[in-house]
Every structure is written in structure tokens, then in C-alpha cells.
Amino acid sequence: MHVAGISTVHVLRDMRGVWECFLIPLHDQALPGTFVLQVRGARDRVRQPHRTGTREPRLAINFLLYARDTWRLAYQHKLILTHPSGVSCRRRPCMPAPSIENQVAYALDILRWDKDRIAEYKAEHGVRSVKKALRPGGNPTRGLPAILSRRTRDCYLETATPFFERARKLTGKKLLGELMTEDIVRSTLDAEYRDHMPSTLDTVLAAIGKVHMGCRRLGWTRSPSPVTEALREHVKAYRDDGDVHQPRYGYAEGDALRILELLKEKGSTFSLAAELALGCGLRISEIAGLKGNDVDKEHSLLHIVGKGGKHRDVPLPAEIAEQLDPSLQWIFRATQSWKQAFYLAVRKAARELGIKVQGIHRFRSNYAQNIYEELRESGKSDREARREVSRRLGHNRVEVTNSYIPPQV
């Protein structure tokens, strides 16, 4: 450190770029032995992280310091800090906090491995699959400590950014490190994500975990991950039928028809989709992908391509056939956003009617029970009736019907 002139005394690096600190003597007889510590951008204009593309003007901040133990005192009294929001002083922040999107992007980019690093790891450890080698304990269900593809990074960014934007609005906190607590994450999920599908919630929790990992690596937080087993169980309880390994029986008698009637009264665009779920036993993915040429009005059938590409023909009730237009290329939008909106519409209708059990898949269970009862009344044995129900639902095993049809039916 040189006193008799301008000297670079330290270089700070943060998410906004590189900052240089200069010690400048202040020639003022009233303040002998006093210096100005100036912090400014290393380049005239600092490029911010990917996505926003905005540029920040060069920053110059002056701090009045005494010569004796200048730098030690500056850190001791927190006059200068390396902080996620940039360089800050003790009394007030000297520059505003970056956007949530930029903070999330920076935290994820810290974890991102490029092709050169992946190739270097393979050569150093003699492995063919980096993903398998990085799995903690070889457990494929546990998350990786790195992000190995740009697409995965972008998926996390698109999921985590709106989540932490909502958390910021709920709490008023602007820094990502301050939002990384289990209480804030839980309250945000309760307020904004209670009606989301289980697959969406799993993606959100995975994105939060990855962003927390990046924040820990950057030193923005020292707290443990907010995504705990207790939080996962709490989120799973949002849906009474969230566990696909447990039986998901239908709505109580008459409740499914009440939901359909309410959707029709409101003029919901999802009333026809709900009728298909109840009257034909289709999955939500099969409804979303339904095409006009799948409708066979002549033979009163629907030609469905289900899970695993399995083809099956499903009887089409006349009252539903009248509402379907075979001339359309797509009857419903085959997008995740459409499926999410359909799911939310049914949940809200059920909640409005005071029906506690909710979900589109319960329409499918009601369909299975109705068909089973008709077949039993026609003289079919229990085994024969269940086999026919299994075929119409698109399953190969008769035992699967135990998840739809209670033993007492």
C-alpha cells in the first residue's frame, strides 16, 4: 500500500463484476493524515449475468478513512463489505440489490460444469459417466452437487426465479441469502403453491435445493438447506391423493357430478375435459393430447394412445360425442400449462363445494367403479369384470384395479 499517491489496495469480486479499491490521500489541513478510499468498477461498464443483458455504469464510491490501520479498520467496522448486493457501507447500501433473477442465475452458474470441466473430470477419475460418479453414495435418487447441462440450469432458473420473486414480495427481503430459510420457503409454498401438481412441486423443491447449494458456495448463506424431509412431507400433504402408490378411490356418490355441474354453470372451458375424465376414464395426459382424428363418432369410440405408447379403444358416450369436433387437429392443448390450469379448475370447484378430496384422477376412479358395477350386474364374475376394467383403463395387470375399486364394491 503506497501513501504518497493513488494505489490499488484491494480487489473485490462479486456477482456484478470486479471492483478495485483505491487509497487517495486527502490534502486537507483540517483533516491531517486522512485518506479517501474509492471503490469503482474495474471496467467502464460491467456486464451483468446472462438473461437480462443490462449494463451498469462505472461505480465510484468514496469513503473517508484515517491512515492508521486503514484497511483493517475498514473491515473491522464494516465500512467496506463484499456483499451479494455489491459493495456496501455500514450506514446504508451503496448500490441497490440486484434482481432476484440475476442472483438466482449467478448462484446456478457457480454450479454449472462446462464440457471442458466434464472431460477433465472423466480423464482424472477414469469414469465414463460423470453423473453416476457424482451421485452421493451412488444413490440415483439424491441430487448432484453440480449442474451438468445448460438445459438443466435453465430449467432451474425458470422455476426458482418466480418462487423467490414471490418470497421477496411476501417478506420484503431482497437478498437471496436472506430468503434461504425453511420458514420463508414453507410460507411461500403455502401461500402460492398449494394447488400445484405434485410433479411441479417436486421440480420447485429441486430448484430451491440447487439455488441454496450455489448460495452456500458463494458464501451468501451458512444455513442448512431449507428443503428438509419435514418440508417434503408438508408439501406432499397438499394433495390427499399425492402418493401414487396408495389407492386413489373416486369421489363420494354424487360429488363428481356436482363438480361437473359447477364447471358448466361457470362456463368453464374445462367442463368438457372433466366429462371425458368421468365418462371415459382418461388420464389427464390423454385428455391433453386428444386429437380430432382420435374421435370415431361412427363407432362411438375414442382411439387413445396411453402410457408407454399403448393403444386402446374406449367407448364414447353419445352426450360427450356431440360436443367433440373431429375436424379439429387438437381438441385440447397438449401443454403443461393447460394441464395445470385444468387441474386447478377442478380443485377450486371441489373446494368451493366443500369437497375435501380433490383431483382429476378421482374421476378416473369413479369411471372404473361405474363400469365394474355395470359388468357385475350383467353377470360377469369379479375377476372378469376387473379384467375388462383394467383393459379400458389401459393397464395390463388386473391387480391394478384394486387402486380404483374398493374391495367392498
The b-or-e profile of 311-331 (16+ CB within 10 A means b, else e) is ebebebeeebbeebeeeeeeb
The identity of residue 61, as a single letter, is I
C-alpha cell at 120: 477433465
> Pairing between strand 55-57 and 45-47?
antiparallel
| Fold (topology level) of 100-112+147-236 | DNA polymerase; domain 1 (1.10.150)
CB proximity list for 105: less than 8 A, separation 6 or greater: 49, 50, 51, 157
Q: In 98-143, where do the E strands start and end?
A: none
Torsions phi, psi of 390, nearest 5? -60, -40
Predicted local confidence at residue 243, as pLDDT: 52
H or E element in which residue 349 lies: helix 336-352
The identity of residue 353, as a single letter, is L
What burial class does residue 227 get, using C-beta atoms within 10 Å of its C-beta: 0-12 exposed, 13-18 middle, 19+ buried?
buried
At residue 266, the 3 state secondary structure works out as coil
> CA 201 from chain center: how many Å?
6
Predicted local confidence at residue 409, as pLDDT: 44
Distances (CA, A) of 34 to 37, 66, 92, 116: 10, 5, 22, 49
C-alpha cell at 70: 486503514
Dihedral, CA atoms, 140, 395, 250, 361, nearest 10 degrees? 50
- Rounded CA gap, 158 and 184, in Å? 19
> CA 257 from chain center: how many Å?
33
C-alpha cell at 198: 405434485
Hey, which residues does 301 pair with through a beta bridge? 296, 315
Predicted local confidence at residue 89, as pLDDT: 41
- Rounded CA gap, 89 and 78, in Å? 7
Write the class of the CATH domain 258-364.
Answer: mainly alpha
8-state DSSP, 235: H
- Rounded CA gap, 85 and 48, in Å? 13
**Of the candidates 272, 261, 260, which has an alpha carbon nearest to the alpha carbon of residue 333?**
272
C-alpha cell at 126: 477414469
Q: Where are the domains of the chain?
A: 7-88, 100-112+147-236, 258-364
The identity of residue 147, as a single letter, is I
> CA 79 from chain center: how many Å?
38
**Of the candidates 56, 75, 52, 68, which has an alpha carbon nearest to the alpha carbon of residue 17?**
56
Q: Average pLDDT by consecutive 10-residue portion of the chain (409 residues)?
A: 40 46 50 50 42 41 41 38 39 62 93 92 89 77 85 94 96 93 95 84 94 93 93 84 60 91 94 94 91 92 88 93 92 87 90 86 92 92 92 89 77
